[in-house]
Amino acid sequence: MIFSRYFKSGAKALDSEAEAWVRRIQSGQATRRDALALREWCAHSDAHAAAFERARRAWVDIGQAGRAFRAAHPRAAAAALARPGRRVLLRAGLAGAGAAAAAAALPPLGWWASLEGLGADYSTAVGEQRTVDWDGGQAVVELDARTRMNVADGPRRLELLEGQAAITCAEQGQGLTVAAGAGEILLDAASVGLRRSGDEVTVTCLRGRVDIRHPSRELALEAGQQARYGAVAVTAPARADLEQAMGWREGMLVFRDMPLAEAVAEINRYRPGRIMVLDDALAARRVSGRFQIARLDLAIDRIREAFGAHVRQLPKGIVLLS
């Protein structure tokens, strides 16, 4: 019990420090020295980095909701701003129009585009893809949109912090190790597709053989196989849907019977602005289809036609679905 209270209080302390960093960076008065100090703070431990990421995402989500509300309800937003003594807290519970009115008091988010890659050696922004010849060309790393990757401690080691990547190690004897979440992926004369979202990691063997080391077990994947793992367990190898897993390399997003909420979250990784699903029943509807990353607004039209959804277009690329 004592240890439980200790870890909870430690996590709360980190969250408070992370929120303070977010407020400092967002204040408009932050300097380059502040940004470097924040990077050092995030690098202190995985827990520090995770706390900052939670705080950053919470602030971004609140700010986007506020901008959407200001555009749709300018009078209510003005009234929210005019209330004397009103304070907006980062971790306040948000629901409905009242939440958006509170969020309307938040200032513009000017720093986040430059902070997306904070603490990462390689990073990509929304809609950006990048190819890196790593370690003198011994390995090729393709980064998808909103991906962060570090060169980890130790020989020929990388760490996937967030997002997805394809890594090719062409020559035998020039293998490398990629840390992602609770596990490690080893490849030598092989290609692998990796996706990480929080603790959840998907590993797709594209060529050759890759090995997964996880606290719960070790297993090997052959070309065309896929496995997933989290903090606790690893799934058994299964046949991969390569078009869905790696379609981004060809400029395509492929959905197979996916909840609309998840499909929209994926679209938001590539499209400027944000699509928000305001209706729970709509969010649960299943969607299948292939969409060009370069023309993702067509996906909004498909959603309208397929589900009879009401679509409201707002400034700055914000779209409300209900």
What is the per-residue pLDDT for 73? 53
What is the per-residue pLDDT for 243? 95
Domains 122-245 and 251-321 share a fold: no
Domain range list for the chain: 2-115, 122-245, 251-321
What is the per-residue pLDDT for 303? 92
Instruction: Identify the weakest region by mean pLDDT among 5-19, 92-106, 237-251, 284-298.
Output: 92-106
Percent of the chain with pLDDT over 70: 73
CB 152 within 8 A of CB 146: no
Q: What's the CA gap between 274 and 254, in Å, rounded?
A: 19
Instruction: Identify the weakest region by mean pLDDT among 12-16, 211-215, 293-297.
Output: 12-16
**pLDDT of 103 above 90:** no
**pLDDT of 198 above 80:** yes
Percent of the chain with pLDDT over 90: 46
Query: Could you identify the residue written with the tokens 């959804």?
Result: 309
CB 169 within 8 A of CB 139: yes
pLDDT in tens, 214-264: 999 999 999 999 999 999 999 999 999 999 999 999 999 999 999 999 999
What is the per-residue pLDDT for 44? 78
**Amino acid identity of 10?**
G
pLDDT in tens, 142-181: 988 888 888 877 678 899 988 999 999 887 877 899 999 9
pTM of structure: 0.68
What is the per-residue pLDDT for 261? 93
Q: What's the CA gap between 281 and 311, in Å, rounded?
A: 15
**pLDDT of 135 above 80:** no
**pLDDT of 64 above 80:** no
What is the per-residue pLDDT for 291? 94
For 38-65, the DSSP string reads HHHHHTT-HHHHHHHHHHHHHHHHHHHH
44-58: average pLDDT? 77
**Amino acid identity of 227?**
A
CB 81 within 8 A of CB 87: no
Per the structure block, which two tokens stand in for 34?
């502040």
Under CATH, to which class is 122-245 assigned?
mainly beta
CB neighbours of residue 201 within 10 Å: 25
Average pLDDT, the chain: 79
- The number of CA neighbours under 13 Å toward the Cβ of 212 is 31
**pLDDT of 265 above 80:** yes
Question: Domain 251-321 belongs to what architecture?
Answer: 3-Layer(bab) Sandwich (3.55)
What is the per-residue pLDDT for 89? 37
**Rounded to 10 degrees, what is the CA torsion of 128, 264, 205, 169?**
10
